[in-house]
């Protein structure tokens, strides 16, 4: 038994379960060529690997339509012919034949003019990886394939890795890299999964299948607990769950401060399911719909129609308020089907509104979908990463252009739709009084604002201690933005992680914040703070 103490929690909670190692194996193909006598065996190896992958994909495609295209490619004759010919004619071993054929096919797709076909290159590579892993006899990590309760352990996790997490089975997450405001932390919080990030060296201290106790609130990990420790943590887990039940009882009490101010308590979500998960917390709406997840979970830029279906459902569910943030990609958020140029400083690079304004056709598809959804609920549009009045005005002009098109087409939308902006850059703080005249609302994004004000990377564990939204520079910025917003009579909310930190509630109430938007898992704690504050 070994106890490890960890400094920062990404998402509270207690878990007792075996470890599931989520690590990419080495998929380098075996060296060397084969002799004439090995041809049939190598081809048989490929066929067995391919068929096993098809079986897996058939199951996956029933749960997620993304895999339907994968399935088609895996069964394609081009793949089979290519690999068989490399084994038979070029005497390549099966692993090299798979790699080379996949490279060739992916290249053909990537060079096509049609955007949809171009995007299939990523699917081809994914299939190649799966078949190669089977041929090598190594297990690929797959969070969607988990069938028993586990604590997932990874070097790091990217937003796309989290797509297939089932919170019923993923009881905890521990990563070696990353900070508490990295996107994996945000997603874990929204799913209510106890999570610790930035736990250096943990992977070398545990093995796959080993029992582990995790108290993410206290920052404690027990590796290979003895019977007494396991029983202790099971009891703690039960106590924690009882506390949760007490907090849940407060849900019907509206969030009114002692001096009578009604505070809006909203959820941050990445998809429609997140809204469903947050509704039991008695939310006043969605203060941040991170629309980029819709793009990240896709195999192509989602069309207007595809987005409309999602936003409409979201608007109907979060009928009091649905704040859709336009695409906030770049930084640490990538797309499998779009090659971003390598940048020295991605967080200072081509991201968020900068991309939308440069790719106007794509931006308009999103805005038209949001506008059309606004006929079905109280939808608000929010722009991320604004740094100048020109950007805000240009983005608003694109909305107006979309409105004119919809008018001409006779399509319905809310003509008074509120158009607001995130305050997450130093420039937007400095210009807040001017922005308040042009924006219908503000939402302070403390995750980015903290990193940009303090010049401290939000995901860098080494400097995590310096990443502090309680630092005077950040607090003064927040106060200034709220004041500027209120002077012009607009509402000021917050959708950065700070809004979900119970310790921040008294300060933010004093500063006059109107709306707190956070991961669903934090809402009960923040409500309690608002209700009990003297
Ligand atoms: C923020 O920066 O505070 C924010 C809410 O946006 P994201 O975390 O998605 O960058
Ligand atoms: Mg941000």
Give the separation between CA 412 and CA 368, rounded to whole angstroms. Answer: 11
- pLDDT value at position 141? 77
10-residue averages of pLDDT along the chain (534 residues): 83 93 87 91 94 86 68 84 93 94 85 66 80 89 86 78 81 84 71 89 93 94 96 95 90 92 95 88 97 88 96 96 96 85 92 97 98 98 98 98 98 98 98 98 97 93 93 98 98 97 96 96 93 84
> Pick the catalytic residue: 99, 266, 402, 495?
495
- Residue 378 a catalytic site member: no
Mark whether 402 is an active-site residue.
no
Residue closest via CA to ligand 1's atom 1 equals 445
pLDDT at 419: 98
End-to-end Cα spacing for the chain:
44
Q: Identify the pLDDT of residue 119.
A: 61
pLDDT of residue 157: 74
For residue 299 the two structure tokens come to 């195999």
Instruction: Report residue 412 as tokens.
Output: 């319905």
What's the pLDDT at 106? 83
Q: What is the pLDDT of residue 144?
A: 79
Three-state SS across 395-439?
HHHHHHHHHHHHHHHCCCCCCCCEEEEEECCHHHHHCHHHHHHHC
The CA 444 to ligand 1 mean position distance, Å, reads 9
Q: Which residue, judged by its Cα, is nearest atom 8 of ligand 1?
A: 447
Catalytic residue, from 183, 266, 300, 402: name it: 183
From the CA of 443, give the closest atom in ligand 1. Answer: 5
Per-position b or e across 417-452, b if 16+ CB within 10 A of its CB: bbbbbbbbbbbbbebbeebbebbbbbbbbbbbbbbb
Q: Is 424 in the pocket of ligand 1 (CB under 6 A)?
A: yes
φ, ψ (nearest 5 deg) of residue 382: -135, 130
Instruction: Give DSSP secondary structure letters for 281-343.
Output: G--S-EEEEETHHHHHTSSSPPPHHHHHHHHHHHHHHTTT-EEEEP---BTTB-BTTB-PPP-
- For residues 381 and 391, give the distance between their C-alpha atoms in angstroms, rounded to a whole number: 15
Q: Is the whole model's pTM more than 0.75, yes or no?
A: no
pLDDT at res. 493: 98
């Amino acid at each position: 038994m070994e106890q490890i103490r960890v400094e920062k929690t990404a998402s509270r909670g207690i878990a007792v379960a075996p470890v599931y190692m989520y690590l990419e194996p080495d998929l380098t193909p075996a060296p060397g060529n084969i002799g004439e006598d090995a041809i049939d065996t190598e081809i048989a190896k490929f066929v067995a690997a391919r068929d096993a992958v098809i079986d897996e994909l058939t199951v996956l495609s029933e749960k997620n339509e993304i895999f339907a295209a994968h399935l088609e490619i895996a069964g394609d004759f081009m793949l089979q012919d290519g690999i068989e010919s490399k084994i038979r004619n070029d005497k390549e071993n099966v692993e090299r034949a798979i790699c080379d054929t996949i490279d060739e096919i992916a290249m053909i797709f990537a060079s096509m003019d049609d955007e949809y076909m171009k995007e299939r290159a990523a699917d081809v590579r994914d299939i190649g990886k799966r078949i190669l892993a089977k041929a090598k006899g190594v297990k690929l990590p797959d969070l969607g394939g988990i069938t028993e309760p586990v604590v997932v352990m990874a070097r790091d996790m990217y937003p796309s890795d989290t797509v297939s997490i089932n919170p019923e089975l993923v009881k905890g997450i521990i990563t070696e890299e990353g900070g508490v405001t990295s996107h994996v932390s945000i997603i874990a919080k929204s799913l209510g999964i106890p999570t610790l990030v930035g736990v250096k060296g943990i992977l070398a201290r545990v093995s796959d299948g080993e029992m582990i106790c995790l108290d993410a609130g206290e920052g404690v990990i027990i590796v290979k607990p003895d019977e007494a420790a396991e029983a202790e943590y099971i009891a703690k887990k039960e106590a924690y769950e009882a506390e949760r039940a007490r907090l849940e009882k407060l849900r019907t009490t509206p969030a009114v401060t002692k001096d009578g101010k009604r505070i809006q308590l909203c959820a941050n979500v990445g998809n429609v399911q997140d809204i469903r998960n947050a509704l039991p917390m008695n939310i006043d709406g969605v203060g941040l719909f991170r629309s980029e997840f819709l793009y990240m979970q896709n195999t192509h830029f989602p069309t207007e129609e595809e987005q409309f279906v999602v936003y409409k459902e979201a608007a109907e569910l979060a009928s009091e308020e649905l704040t859709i943030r336009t695409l906030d990609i770049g930084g640490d958020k990538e797309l499998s089907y779009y090659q971003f140029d390598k940048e020295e400083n991605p967080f200072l690079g081509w991201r968020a509104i900068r991309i939308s304004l440069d790719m106007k056709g794509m931006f308009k598809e999103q805005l038209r979908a949001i506008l059309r959804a606004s006929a079905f609920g109280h939808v608000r549009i929010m722009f991320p990463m604004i740094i100048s009045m020109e950007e805000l005005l240009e983005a608003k002009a694109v909305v107006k252009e979309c409105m004119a098109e919809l008018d001409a087409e006779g399509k319905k939308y809310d003509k008074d739709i509120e158009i607001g902006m995130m305050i997450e850059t130093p420039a937007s703080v400095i210009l807040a009084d001017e922005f308040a005249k042009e924006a219908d609302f503000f939402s302070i994004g403390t995750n980015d604002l903290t990193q940009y004000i303090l010049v401290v990377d939000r995901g860098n564990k080494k400097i995590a201690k310096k990443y502090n939204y309680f630092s005077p520079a950040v607090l003064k910025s927040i106060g200034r933005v709220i004041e500027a917003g209120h002077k012009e009579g607009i509402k000021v909310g917050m959708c950065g992680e700070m809004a979900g930190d119970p310790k921040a509630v008294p300060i933010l109430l004093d500063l006059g914040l109107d709306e707190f938007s956070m991961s669903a898992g934090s809402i009960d704690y923040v409500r309690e703070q608002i209700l009990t504050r003297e």
